[in-house]
Amino acid sequence: MGDGGRSLDRASLPHPDDAAGAVAGAPTRPRPVPAVTRPRPLTAAGLLVAAALVVATVLLAGMAAVGTGRAGNPGGAGAARSAPAYTPSAAGTLRGLAPAGMLIGTAVDPRGLNLDPAYPGVLAAEFNAVTAENAMKWGNLEPSPGVYAWAGGDQIVDLARRNGQAVYGHTLVWHNDVPDWVSPDWPAQRLREVLRRHVTAVVAHYRGRVWAWDVVNEVLAEDGSLRDTLWLRKLGPGYVADAFRWARQADPDARLFVNEYGTEGRTAKADALLDLVRRLRADGVPVDGVGFQGHLDAERPPEGVRGNLRRFAALGVRVAVTELDVRVRLPATAEGLRRQAAVYREVLRACLDVAACASVTVWGFTDARSWIPGYHRGFGAACLFDADFRPKPAHAALLDELAARRRTGG
């Protein structure tokens, strides 16, 4: 049920770098044909074009940075900034070292893409998957009823295709970013119809281009009950199952995820999520995967992540770390960044140890564009690269972990 008989092993996932089997450093053992075929495997010619584009982007970004000079880091997330040229680490890149079938993704922020010279180069070189940080949220996609603004999401999807990256869709049903024109005063039937149209329109628009969707996001309250939202109040608990069924209908090949935070370790909320997913699947609802956001504090990392991922995988679903960042108290100290690196490494390890773990996606890769300082007062520096696009100890730790796994074949 739900998975249509597909293997849940990582090796059956779409993996742009591996699809052509010719990327430097890619494992040479034969891989099974990806059961999920999107994004379409690159042909050898396509791969050459993608590789050339990556190189050109890195070079152009470097030239632009040289042309404008270093501007330091004023920290204003809206401002254009220049940055030193990005050169991949001698140790390799995240996507280059990732094992067969594993996606290493990042959230993408169009401000970074369009304003930061170094951003596109790092994005293309380090990651083989992307998630739109905000561009595919309902409020951005449908500013007025029936009027769709696809440009932001499409830009990310088109770029991902050129970069040979898989696209993870975020997010269809959430209590945030519901457009203003959706009124809580409407009768249930009208709200349900509007939600159905939204899910159907978005999934259909990206059909064949998005390999997985966060169908519902953050549906649980801290105590594990269903969160008190407009959808629960007006439509009742069945809205969750409905959303999955609508999404399945609009794109039968997309993997459908429930996405949650505070469930990375073995918390009471994680117990409730496990229960929810088990019940949904027992009812025949097409839930294919569980996303663990992973917005973490370096001082208070979750415990038992590996075991937690395993117990979800045992339900027959894929699991994924969907929004990883590890915040530290500001100003960041060397010790803080060391702890942060250890937490990043631990989460990656947990995913690597669980065959059903499809991907680790970071919620932005540069401190220049991270949402953390705006939402967690006094915290920041949560990403793998600093605000000047220099790799931090956390990046080195991930490279090291991936390289060690290659050596040992683990």
Q: Which residues bind ligand XIL (CB under 6 A)?
A: 133-134, 217, 293, 323, 371
Contact call for residues 112 and 79 (beta carbons, < 8 A): no
Nearer to ligand XIL by Cβ, of 184 and 374: the residue is 374
For the CB of residue 297, give the shortest distance to ligand XIL in the complex, in Å. Answer: 14
Residue type, 96: G
How many residues belong to the chain?
A: 410
Cα-based angle 316, 322, 323 (whole degrees, multiple of 5)? 155
Strands 129-132 and 166-173: parallel
Catalytic residue among 126, 133, 142, 218, which?
A: 218
Output 323 or 386, the one with its CB closest to ligand XIL. Answer: 323
The least CB distance from residue 322 to ligand XIL, in Å, is 8
CB of 374 to ligand XIL, least distance (A): 7
- Least distance in angstroms from the C-beta of 276 to ligand XIL: 17
Nearest-CA neighbor of 58 among 91, 39, 86, 34? Answer: 86
Report the residue number, 82 or 293, with the smaller CB distance to ligand XIL.
293
Return the number of the residue (19 or 240) whose C-beta is nearest ligand XIL: 240
Q: Count of alpha carbons within 13 Å of 98, Cβ hemisphere only? A: 31
Q: Is 299 tagged catalytic?
A: no
Per the DSSP assignment, residues forming a β-bridge with 170 are 214
- Name which of 17 and 323 has its Cβ closer to ligand XIL: 323
51 or 347: CB nearest ligand XIL: 347
Q: Which helix (H) or strand (E) holds 62?
A: helix 44-68
CB of 171 to ligand XIL, least distance (A): 6
Please return the burial class of 335, using the count of CB atoms within 10 Å of its CB with bins 0-12, 13-18 and 19+: exposed
Q: How far apart are alpha carbons 369 and 116 in whole angstroms?
A: 10
Looking at 172-229, list the stretches that DSSP marks H as alpha helix, in order from N- to C-terminal side. Answer: 188-205
Residue nearest to ligand XIL (CB): 371
Whether residue 378 contacts residue 330, with contact meaning beta carbons closer than 8 Å, is answered with yes
CB of 371 to ligand XIL, least distance (A): 3
Active site residue 323: yes
Measured distance CA(359)–CA(357) in Å, rounded: 6
Catalytic residue among 323, 335, 346, 401: 323
> Which among 19, 50, 41, 42 has a CA at the least distance from the CA of 163?
50
d(CA 265, CA 295): 12
Q: Which residues are catalytic?
A: 218, 323
